[in-house]
C-alpha cells in the first residue's frame, strides 16, 4: 500500500496544505502527526479559500479520511470552528475525521501562558500565541489533559484542579478561568464533537486499517522549526520531521518516500536567524507578489532568497527523498534571482551547517542566476537542476499557483 510523508523543508508555510490536498485524492487517509493550531494550511478548492489549522488537508469532495494523531496538541474550540466552516460547504465532512483519544489538549490556560511568557521574554520567540509551547510543556511535565480524560468526569475535574493549582502558584494567580469553568467548557466541546459525528479511534485500533489502506502523512511547520534541530530556541515545541509517523505506530522505513516542500525562495514568521533575509525592495516585492502574510496570525512574513546550505542541512537531518518546489510563479519576471550557495560563519566558509548553531551569525554567499518570465521557461528548469545538483535531492513536482490542481510532475517536463 502507498505510504508517503510530506513535510516542510524550510521555516514553514511552504505550501504543504495545497500540496497535500493535491495528493490526497489518491489516498484513503491523511494523517496530521505533529503541532497544533499554530499551523495554517491554505487550500484553494473550487475558488474558495480554506485555512486548516488542525483538520488534515483532505480532498473535500472525495472520500478520503483525516486522522489527528497523538503527536499533536489539539485546541477543541478551534477544531470545532474549523469543522463548522467546512460543514457549511461540505455537509457530513466531519464524519470523515478521526481523533486519537490519546492526544493532549490545548487548554485556555495554555493560550494565556503563551501570551504571558512571550510578553515577559527579553527576546520574544514570536510564537503564534496558540498555546503550543505551554501545552507540550505540560505534556512533558506530566500535568497535561488527554482527550480520553473527557470521558471520565471525576478524573478530569481532579486533573484540572491540580493543574490550575500549580499554574496559579507559578503565575501569581493570573489564570483567568477556574477549573470548573474549563471543565464545563471541555464537556460542552466534547458534546459538540459527538454531535458532529467525528470518530474517537486510537492508532492502535487503526493499525490494521492503516496497513491495508493508503496513507499520506501531513507534516506541520518545517524542518528548520523542529524542536531539536531547528534554529533553537526560535523553533516550535514539537518534532516537524517524518519520524513523527511513529505517533501512529509507523517507522520511517515503512514510507515509500518523504517529500520536502520548499518555496522557490525563503520565508520565516517570528524571530530567529534567517541568513538570506532580504530587507530591501526585492524582499518587499516577494512579500507583495507571494502574498506572504501569515495564514494563522496575519503577520507579514520575512522574505528572502533560496538558501542551499539550509536545504543541505535539512536533507541530511531529515532523510528527505525528494523536494516539491512551490511558488516559483512568484519570481516570474525577476531579471535575476539570488541563491545562497554557502555561509560565511566568522570568516569560515561553510556549505553544510554542521549544527543549528551555524545559522546564527551566518553571512550568505550568493550567486546570481538568470530569472524567468514564466515557469515554462528554460531558465526555471536550470534553476531546478541547480537546486538538485547542489543539494543532492531530486525535485519530483512543482507547484505553479495556489489552486490545488496547479501542480505538475517534473519527470516528463525535465525531458523537454
Ligand atoms: P503551509 O503552511 O505550508 O500549508 O503554507 P501556507 O498555506 O501557510 O502558505 C502558503 C501560501 O502560498 C498560501 O497562501 C497558498 O495558497 C500559497 N501557495 C501555495 N502554493 C503556491 C504556488 O505554487 N504559487 C502561488 N502563487 N501560491 C501558492
Ligand atoms: P505551518 O504548518 C510558519 C513559528 C512561529 C514562531 C515559532 C514558534 O503553517 O507551516 P509556536 O506558536 O509554534 O510556539 O511558534 O514557530 N511557527 C510557524 N511558522 N508556519 C507554521 O506552521 C508555524 N508554526 C509555528 O511563527 O516563530
Ligand atoms: Mg502555514
Q: Read off the pLDDT of residues 91-102 as tens digits, 9 standing for 90 and up.
A: 999 999 999 999
pLDDT given at position 135: 98
pLDDT given at position 225: 98
Q: What is the DSSP-derived secondary structure letter of residue 41? A: E
Ligand 2 pocket by C-beta < 6 Å: which residues?
A: 8, 12-13, 38-41, 125-128, 130, 132-133, 220-222, 225, 236-237, 269-270, 295
Enzyme catalytic residues: 13, 41
C-alpha cell at 300: 507579514
Higher pLDDT, 138 or 294: 138
What percent of the chain lies above the pLDDT cut of 70?
100
pLDDT higher than threshold 70 for residue 146: yes
180 band by pLDDT with thresholds 50, 70 and 90: very high
Residue-averaged pLDDT of the chain = 96
Cβ within 8 Å of residue 121, ≥6 positions away: none
Beta bridge partners of 3: 215
Burial of 195 (0-12, 13-18, 19+ CB in 10 A): exposed
pLDDT given at position 166: 97
Any idea which ligand is nearest the CA of 57?
Answer: 1
Rounded Cα distance between 41 and 51, Å, is: 5
> Quick one: how far is CA 65 from the chain centroid?
19
Rounded Cα distance between 27 and 216, Å, is: 7
Rounded Cα distance between 305 and 328, Å, is: 12
> Quick one: how far is CA 44 from the chain centroid?
17
pLDDT higher than threshold 70 for residue 416: no
pLDDT given at position 50: 96
C-alpha cell at 373: 518570465
**How does pLDDT run across 222-275, given as a tens digit for each residue?**
999 999 999 999 999 999 999 999 999 999 999 999 999 999 999 999 999 999
pLDDT given at position 47: 87
pLDDT higher than threshold 90 for residue 130: yes
**How does pLDDT run across 265-316, given as a tens digit for each residue?**
999 999 999 999 999 999 999 999 999 998 888 899 999 999 999 999 999 9
Pocket test for ligand 1, best of 18, 32, 48, 220 (most atoms within 8 A of CB): 18
C-alpha cell at 111: 493560550
Q: Are the C-beta atoms of residues 56 and 67 closer than 8 Å to each other? A: yes
Q: Which of 414, 395, 313 is nearest to 11 (CA)?
A: 313
Q: Which of 193, 244, 209 is nearest to 70 (CA)?
A: 244
Rounded Cα distance between 337 and 11, Å, is: 20
412 band by pLDDT with thresholds 50, 70 and 90: confident
Nearest alpha carbon, ligand 1 atom 21:
402
Any idea which ligand is nearest the CA of 220?
Answer: 2
Locate all alpha helices (DSSP H) within 295-372, ordered by sequence. Answer: 308-318
Instruction: Provide the 10 A C-beta neighbour count for residue 92.
Output: 10
Ligand 3 center–CA 263 separation, angstroms: 12
Nearest alpha carbon, ligand 1 atom 27:
402
pLDDT given at position 415: 67
Q: Which of 280, 217, 294 is nearest to 11 (CA)?
A: 294
Rounded Cα distance between 27 and 50, Å, is: 20
β-bridge pairing 348-350 and 395-399: unpaired
Cβ within 8 Å of residue 189, ≥6 positions away: 76, 77, 80
**How does pLDDT run across 1-28, given as a tens digit for each residue?**
899 999 999 999 999 999 999 999 999 9
Ligand 3 center–CA 169 separation, angstroms: 35
Rounded Cα distance between 194 and 224, Å, is: 37
Ligand 1 pocket by C-beta < 6 Å: which residues?
A: 8, 12-18, 40-42, 44, 291, 295, 326-327, 329-330, 399-402
pLDDT higher than threshold 90 for residue 106: yes
Rounded Cα distance between 70 and 86, Å, is: 23
Amino acid at each position: 500500500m502507498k505510504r508517503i510523508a510530506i513535510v516542510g523543508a524550510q521555516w514553514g508555510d511552504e505550501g504543504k496544505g495545497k500540496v497535500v490536498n493535491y495528493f490526497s485524492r489518491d489516498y484513503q487517509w491523511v494523517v496530521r502527526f505533529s503541532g497544533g493550531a499554530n499551523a495554517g494550511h491554505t487550500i484553494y478548492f473550487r475558488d474558495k479559500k480554506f485555512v486548516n489549522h488542525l483538520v488534515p488537508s483532505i480532498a473535500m469532495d472525495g472520500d478520503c479520511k483525516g486522522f489527528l494523531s497523538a503527536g499533536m496538541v489539539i485546541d477543541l474550540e478551534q477544531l470545532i470552528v474549523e469543522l463548522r466552516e467546512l460543514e457549511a460547504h461540505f455537509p457530513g465532512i466531519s464524519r470523515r475525521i478521526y481523533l486519537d483519544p490519546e492526544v493532549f489538549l490545548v487548554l485556555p490556560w495554555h493560550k494565556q501562558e503563551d501570551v504571558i511568557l512571550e510578553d515577559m521574554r527579553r527576546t520574544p520567540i514570536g510564537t503564534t500565541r496558540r498555546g503550543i509551547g505551554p501545552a507540550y510543556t505540560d505534556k512533558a511535565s506530566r500535568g497535561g489533559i488527554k482527550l480520553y480524560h473527557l470521558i471520565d468526569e471525576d478524573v478530569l475535574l481532579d486533573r484540572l484542579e491540580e493543574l490550575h493549582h500549580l499554574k496559579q502558584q507559578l503565575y501569581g494567580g493570573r489564570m483567568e478561568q477556574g477549573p470548573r469553568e474549563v471543565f464545563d467548557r471541555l464537556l460542552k466541546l466534547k458534546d459538540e464533537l459527538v454531535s458532529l459525528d467525528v470518530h474517537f479511534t486510537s492508532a492502535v485500533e487503526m493499525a490494521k486499517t492503516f496497513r491495508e489502506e493508503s496513507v499520506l502523512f501531513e507534516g506541520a511547520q518545517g524542518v528548520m522549526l523542529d524542536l531539536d534541530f531547528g534554529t533553537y530556541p526560535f523553533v516550535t515545541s514539537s518534532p516537524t520531521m517524518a519520524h513523527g509517523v511513529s505517533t501512529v505506530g509507523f517507522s520511517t522505513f515503512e514510507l515509500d518516500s518523504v517529500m520536502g516542500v520548499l518555496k522557490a525562495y525563503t520565508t520565516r514568521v517570528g524571530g530567529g536567524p534567517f541568513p538570506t533575509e532580504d530587507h530591501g525592495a526585492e524582499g518587499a516585492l516577494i512579500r507583495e507578489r507571494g502574498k506572504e502574510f501569515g495564514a494563522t496570525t496575519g503577520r507579514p512574513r520575512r522574505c528572502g532568497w533560496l538558501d542551499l546550505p539550509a536545504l543541505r542541512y535539512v536533507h541530511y537531518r531529515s532523510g528527505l527523498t525528494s523536494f516539491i518546489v512551490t511558488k516559483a510563479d512568484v519570481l516570474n519576471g525577476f531579471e535575476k534571482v539570488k541563491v545562497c550557495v554557502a555561509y560565511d560563519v566568522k570568516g569560515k566558509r561553510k556549505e553544510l551547517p554542521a549544527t543549528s548553531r551555524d545559522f546564527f551569525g551566518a553571512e550568505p554567499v550568493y550567486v546570481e542566476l538568470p530569472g524567468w518570465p514564466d515557469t515554462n521557461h528554460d531558465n526555471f528548469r536550470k534553476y531546478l537542476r541547480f537546486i538538485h545538483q547542489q543539494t543532492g535531492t531530486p525535485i519530483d513536482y512543482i507547484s505553479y499557483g495556489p489552486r490545488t490542481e496547479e501542480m505538475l510532475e517534473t519527470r516528463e517536463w525535465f525531458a523537454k
